[in-house]
Structure 1
């Protein structure tokens, strides 16, 4: 984890840019969609049929 932070800091300083959290960008949303698809496929391989439905924002754990 520390190694990843050092690489990020290096690139931020080298490019003179502000840090941007990739999870807040489209890339983060795409990786979440890919992860959900992968998880669904894993359940199907185990013999389960699943339907992924997002929870309303008010029900998310604190």
Structure 2
């Protein structure tokens, strides 16, 4: 059952997750947390909701 609750899976956003995030809306999803710096040189993260209603996380170092 698709859900935005529970455990969130984080996927590798590659070198820079910005290009991947730019494709979310075109594919029918929605970015719910834009590219955000984690701090302490841990990189960046973002969250999006896919077309089935699942919340997914992305991580990249740039």
**Fold conserved between structures, TM > 0.5:** no
Task: Considering fraction of residues, name the structure with more strand.
Answer: 2
Task: Considering fraction of residues, name the structure with more helix.
Answer: 1
TM-score (norm 2): 0.29
Structure whose CA Rg is larger: 1
TM-score (norm 1): 0.29
Larger relative contact order (CA 8 Å, sep ≥ 6): 2
